Structure 1
Amino acid sequence: MSDGGVPAGDFETFHRATFSKMLARAMFYVGNIQDAEDALQEAYVTAWKRWDRITTFYEAEGLILLVLRQRAWKGRKDGKVSSIDELDGIVSNQATVEETVWVRHVLDELSLLPHGQRVVMALHCLQGHTQDEVAQKLEGKRNTIAGAVYLARRKLARSLGIAESKPNESLVSVVLSDDDPLLVVLDMAEKWLAEAIEADGRALEHMCERLGAGMSTAEGGRP
C-alpha cells in the first residue's frame, strides 16, 4: 500500500492512483468483476463522504479495504459460486496469451472456494494478516479462521499444482513466509491483474461514470 505519510490530496487523484490495485483486490475478495465493481463503488463513495476527515493515502486505502472486506464477508452466506468469466474485458492487449491463461486459471480456482474461505485467504495471504488478526477483523474464532485457511490453502495448492512441503503448516502458522509458494502465486496474479486493469483503462473510466452517478445521489456526501 501507499506510504502512510503521503497526504491524501484530492479525491479524484486518490481514486485514479489506487483504482487498479483496489479492483484487483476486490476481485480476489468477491470472485467476479461485476460484484467487485459494485463493492468498490460503495467503498469509494464511502471514502468520498468522509474525505474532509481523511488525512493520508494510508488512511484512505484502509477505509476502502475495510468496506470491501465487510461487504465480501457479509456476502459469504449467499452460497453463490462466482466465476471470472469477464476477464477478457479488462485484460491489456499487451498481455501474452500465457499470462492471460495463467491468471484466469488462478482467479477461476480462487472463485471456486466457498465465499468465506476466499475472504480469509485474501486477508491472510494478500494482506499478510496473521490468523489471529484475521479472526479479530472478521469477529470470528481463531480456530475457525485457522481451519478455513487450511482448507483453502489445500484446495488451491492442489488445483494449481503447488506442492506444500509441510501439509499442516498452514493450520498452525501465524506468520507467512516470503518464500511461501502459494503466497508468491497469489501475489503475482494480483499484481499482474492490477497492471492489466491499469493498462486497459476501460474499467477506470467505467468506474468514474458510476462514481459520478453515485456521488450525485449520495445522501450526506461532501458538496
Structure 2
Amino acid sequence: MGDFSTDTEPYRRELLAHCYRMLGSFDDAEDAVQETYLRAWRAYEGFEGRASVRTWLHQIATNACLSALSHRSRRFLPSGLGGPVDDPAAVPVTADVAWVQPVPDSVLDPATIVASRDSLRLALIATLQALPGRQRAVFILRDVMSWPASDVAQVMGTSTAAVKSTLQRARARLAEEPPDVERAVEPGQLEPVLGHYIAAVEHADGAALERVLRADACLEATPFSTWFSGRATCVPYLVRQVLGSPGDWRLLPTSANGQPAAVGYHRGAAYGLLVLTVTPTGIARIHAFGDPALVKRFGFPPTL
C-alpha cells in the first residue's frame, strides 16, 4: 500500500477536466473532485490494485458526477435555447436557466490543453450536456480521452458490449445536433487577435471590431437568452448598446477552455469573462459571461 497523496495527486487536474466535461460547470467540477478525493481517501485502505489508480479515481469521479447530475438541471449556452435575433436594436431578454460555465486554463493540466484543446471548447461542452449522464460519461472516456472499451467498462461497472452500445447511442444523438467546433488556430496566432479585439472594445471602435470579426460571427452573452448572428448585426448591437464611450471598458487577457479570453471591467467594476473562438479568417464567436464572480475565479481583482 502506497501513500494516498503520492498515489492520487498526479491525477487531480485530469479529474477536474473530466468532471468539467461531465457537468459543464467549473464550480460543480471542483465540488465533484473534492467529493472524489474524499471518497477515495475513505476507501483507500480497501483498494487492492485490481485496477490502476487512474481508472479507480475516474470511476469514483464519474459516479460523483452522475450523482450530481441526478439532482441538477441541464446547463445551456444562449444559442441552445433558440435561434438568433437579427435586429441590433433588440433588447436582450434574461433567462432563468443554469448556464454552462467557462473553466480557467490555469487550473488544467497544460498537456491536456495542448493535446485536447478542441475537447474543452465551449461549443462541445454545451453539446455534451444534451446527452444522458451515462452516455455522456462513455462518450467522454472513449471518444474524448481515447480510453480502451475495457477500461471504460471498468469505470462504468458494466460490460464491454454495453459500453459499445452506449457509445453508439451517444454518437447518434450528437450527430443529430453536432457541436459547432471551428478548426483550431495555432496558439501563437491567438494573442494578436485577442489584442486587436481588446483594443477595439476599450476604444469603443466599431470599425476595428468589423475588421476582427468574421462575416458570420455570433455573439451570445449570459444571462440573456437573446443572441446575435452575423457581423452586420453584432457590430451595430455592440456599438449602440454595449461599448459606450472610449475607456468605459477595460479588458485583461487570460485564457479559458483552451481559447483566448479576457476578464472585463465596466467603469472599474467587474463584469465577467469574454471567450473568443478564433479561426484563420477571424473571430467566429464571442461568448460573454456576465458574472462578476468569474473575475475573481480567474485570479483578477474585483475592481480596477
TM-score (norm 2): 0.39
Percent identity between the two aligned chains: 18
Paired position in structure 2 for 1:107? 121
Deviation at 1:16, TM superposition (A): 2.2
Structure with greater strand percent: 2
Extract unaligned runs of 5+ from structure 1: 1-7, 163-191, 194-223
Deviation at 1:21, TM superposition (A): 1.6
1:122 partner letter: I
Distance (whole Å) between structure 2 residues aligned to residue 10 and residue 141 of structure 1: 32
2:25–2:102 Cα contact (<8 Å) kept: yes
Change (3 A) 1:153 1:60: farther
Distance (whole Å) between structure 1 residues aligned to residue 10 and residue 108 of structure 2: 18
Alignment match of 2:74 (pick from 70, 80, 93): 80
Alignment match of 1:129 (pick from 146, 149, 155): 149
1:47–1:64 Cα contact (<8 Å) kept: yes
Secondary structure of 1:34's counterpart equals helix
Change (3 A) 1:33 1:147: same
2:100 partner letter: S
Paired position in structure 1 for 2:38? 45
1:135–1:145 Cα contact (<8 Å) kept: no
TM-score (norm 1): 0.50
Distance (whole Å) between structure 1 residues aligned to residue 17 and residue 107 of structure 2: 11
1:149 partner letter: R
Distance (whole Å) between structure 2 residues aligned to residue 153 and residue 121 of structure 1: 13
Output the aligned Cα RMSD: 4.2
1:159 partner letter: D
Structure with greater helix percent: 1
Distance (whole Å) between structure 2 residues aligned to residue 142 and residue 103 of structure 1: 25
Secondary structure of 1:50's counterpart equals helix
Distance (whole Å) between structure 1 residues aligned to residue 74 and residue 138 of structure 2: 17
1:33–1:86 Cα contact (<8 Å) kept: yes
Over 6 Å off, 4+ runs: none
Paired position in structure 2 for 1:23? 16
Distance (whole Å) between structure 2 residues aligned to residue 24 and residue 88 of structure 1: 10
- Larger gyration radius, structure 1 or structure 2: 2
Is 1:152 aligned to 2:174, yes or no?
Answer: yes
Change (3 A) 1:76 1:85: same
